[in-house]
Copies of this chain bind each other. A is one copy, B any other.
Amino acid sequence: MNDHASHILNTDSIEQKWSDGEREIVRATYRVMVEHGYSNLSISKIADELGKTKASVYYHYDSKEELLVSFLDFVVDWFKNDIAEEISESPETALSNLVESLIPLELDDETFHGQVVLLELRSQTRRSEEFRERFTEINDLLVGIVRDIIERGVETGAFRDVEAPRVAEHIVATANGARIDRVTTDRPAAPAAVRVSLSSYIDSELRQHD
């Protein structure tokens, strides 16, 4: 699994259930957001990025709201495709790989801005139920992955018999907290500290030592 928002919306990771026009618009939307932030997003800027006019955007989407929900659907899809990778390993390495990718030591600028954009969108939860549903799905997916890894480890005897659902919530909450801290503060040492402490927690609480 890659960093949360890296290479987001790459064509090859997006399913075929959208038309070319919609796909182009959503990708342009993402580029505008990475450059200007969600709060400065406008249909005009999207149209400029596309090299077309506002009316052309409104041919594909009836409203800005609908476009944003569509954008979130792309994010969810990307997330599903991206997260499915490399969990065929042993539970121990799968979990530590996941932690490492959830809390990377460094972020390139585009990924960084992509994370901020997703946080901006996440904070718009009052906008509609549709928004809320998408972020609920993303968190459910991530927690589900972690829980499955832990349960698999418990079955194979690699992990102690912990309560997988709770521990999974704990790990995901920690990773998300670290990620948000990184992109909203100047505390450069924090992410690495969290990662070390979380890894040591996993090692001593979950791992079955012989």
Contact = CB atoms under 8 A, between A and B. Distances in A.
Contact of A177 (B113, B165, B172, B190): B172
Interface string A155-169: 000000001011101
Classify chain A: how many residues form its interface, as a range: 35 or more
Contact of A125 (B116, B190, B198): B116
A15 interface: no
Interface of A: 37-39, 113, 116, 119-120, 122-126, 132-133, 135-136, 139-140, 143, 163, 165-167, 169-170, 172-178, 180-181, 183-187, 190, 193-194, 196-198, 201, 204-205
Nearest to A36: B126
Given A122-B123, A172-B177, 8 more contacts: A116-B125, A116-B126, A123-B184, A125-B185, A139-B185, A165-B193, A167-B197, A173-B178
Interchain residue pairs A-B with the least CB separation, the first 8: A177-B177, A173-B177, A170-B197, A176-B177, A169-B193, A136-B185, A120-B123, A166-B197
Given A174-B170, A194-B169, A139 B39 contact: no
